[in-house]
Structure 1
Amino acid sequence: MTLSLTHAHGDRITVAHEGTGTELFAYVYRPEAPWEAPKPYLHPVRTLSGGLVTDYRPNDHRWHKGLQLTASHLSGQNLWGGNTYVHGEGYLALPERVGSMAHVAFGEVSAAGDRAVIAERLTWHPHGGELWAEEERRIEVCDVDAEAGSWTLSWTSSVTNRREEPLRFGSPTTHGRPAAGYTGLFWRGPRAFRDGKVFTADSDGEDLMGSQAPWLAYVGEHDGRDGHATVVFEHAPTNDHAGDQGTHPAHWFVRSAPFAAVAPSWAFHEELVLAPGDTLDRTYRVLVADGAWDREQVAAHLKARTW
């Protein structure tokens, strides 16, 4: 199976599967509205048969854009977008706290055979524009399985603190709001995926909020066409971060109502503190599959693929 890549310079990179003619995803890196904390994102993301599995600027949260790396609370700034949660006051419009993640350059943009690679350098900024962090990002299509009707995206980000003081990664939950630990890699599913099925290797349902598991699957049903899609999020075993409170494993943020959303949060219950000059490394895989996969099917597929 062959992948192709089209680069509209200054705007986006599109990766397509030539066997099916499907555009698997677009990586959009041009900056958008300042209020939405400009940052690159993937949308649309599709299954091999063309089923849509991401949403873009929904009317409830305009800053939700497909699949993107976010930082909802970062040393008092909001690199997530929209209103900022303030304990005791709720979500407030505080534009002076809304920052950005800016594209700098691509180190590699390529497609050959069944692999496609986007390697990028980015900088992270508070609202005032100072340099707070530098990121090395690598997004790769690493496994196209036409027989299974699936493909896999890997995402690796290495974020280095360029401040002279620690960067404190948090979330609304670390700032006082229960069950709202969203930050880090964040997926917003299409409106049709509301009330979808969520499960891990051992558990089902939204009691998974704030829990830990090596992977989490979301099954949704399409609008406009028949059938389902399954999106599986998996974090690398190396993602534990040794911080000032010991290791810092991922916890899942997941909702199926009032909308579909998943994030392997890097600061759900406790802040993650990154010292000056230190680098935070995170690697994830996202499996995008046609059909409603069950627990056994997901587990068997993942077990056959090593890190």
Structure 2
Amino acid sequence: MTLELQRDEDALTVRARGTELLRYVHRPVMDPFEAPKPYLHPVRTLAGDVVTGYRPHDHRWHKGVQFTASWVSGENFWGGGTYLRGQGYVDLPNLGTMHSLAVSAETDHDRVVVTEDLAWHTAAGEHWIGERRTLTVCDVEADSWILEVTTALTNVHDAELVFGSPGTQGRELAGYSGLFWRGPRAFTGGDVIGPGMGEQGDWLAFVGAHDEVDRSSTLLFLDDPDNPCRWFVRSEPIPAVNPSLAFDKEVPLAPGDTLARRYRIVVADGAWDLARLNRYVEEHPW
């Protein structure tokens, strides 16, 4: 299967069989309250159905698929208010920005690999984290394709950094941080197959039905096999999935050290059942 790559000044687009599978916006223009950072949207199935949401009215900072952090030593790279123990969500002048420094992309017909260097800056402009991010589009089959996301976060600050979440600040079952997918509003009430909120598991699937067309789609999320997470997942009131970096326990990162993670997202046409999901996972090992 031949994949087509289009490079624009601010974004990259990958196509297959005439369908735009994804658009990666690496130089976004957005409100500082949304913690500016790169995002993937729209993401589509091979049938052309969009499986990501963008700036929903309930959380304007949710944009398709993003890798980010809701708490880094008090800084918020997620967007919106910051959850503080005993106070709830508070709007603070602590919203950081991720700057894309360099992006390269390669394709060999059946695989596209995007490599990006990013700098995480605090609201005060301090450079705290250097990131090397890789996005790989591969394994395009009859009704599915894979997006692999790898990241290496290096502490370039002169002090220890601590990754946390609202969960580590005391909000029960709200430990979102890291790779985050926001689904389209039509997916609200969709089916979650796999671990529940706060549970562990190698993979989790979300099945949603589309408006306008008589079709469903399945997203299969595979956790980093070397660093098992606890899952943040909701079907209502919003469709969202996140293999959390720090669901209920903080993750420290010493100066000069690197935190590495890798994930897979399988984007599939149709409503896959448990048997189909298990078979796919077995046939596509890491």
TM-score category (smaller protein): over 0.9
- How many percent of aligned residue pairs carry the same amino acid? 54
Report whether the alignment pairs 1:38 with 2:17. no
Counterpart in 2 of 1:16? 15
* TM-score normalised by the chain length of structure 2: 0.98
**In 1, Cα distance between the equivalents of 2:31 and 2:111?**
32
Gap regions ≥5 residues in structure 1? 241-248
Equivalent residues in 2 for 1:191-270, closer than 5 Å: 191-200=185-194, 208-238=196-226, 240=227, 249-270=228-249
Q: How far off its partner does 1:236 sit?
A: 2.5
Which of 241, 266, 269 is matched with 1:290 structurally? 269
Q: How far off its partner does 1:61 sit?
A: 0.2
SS at match of 1:145: coil
Counterpart in 1 of 2:83? 85
**In 2, Cα distance between the equivalents of 1:294 and 1:52?**
20
Check the 8 A contact 1:254/1:263 in 2, yes or no: yes
Which of 119, 127, 130 is matched with 1:123 structurally? 119
SS at match of 1:144: coil
Question: Alpha-carbon deviations, 1:63-85, whole Å to 9, x = none?
Answer: 00000001001100000001111
**In 2, Cα distance between the equivalents of 1:123 and 1:303?**
37
**In 1, Cα distance between the equivalents of 2:159 and 2:275?**
46
Alignment root-mean-square deviation, CA: 0.9
Moved over 4 A (4+): none
Which of 51, 58, 61 is matched with 1:60 structurally? 58
Counterpart in 2 of 1:100? 97
Q: How far off its partner does 1:181 sit?
A: 0.4
Counterpart in 1 of 2:110? 114
1:113 counterpart letter in structure 2: H
Q: How far off its partner does 1:110 sit?
A: 2.1
Q: How far off its partner does 1:272 sit?
A: 0.5
**In 2, Cα distance between the equivalents of 1:143 and 1:100?**
32
Counterpart in 2 of 1:4? 4
Check the 8 A contact 1:4/1:112 in 2, yes or no: no
Counterpart in 2 of 1:183? 177
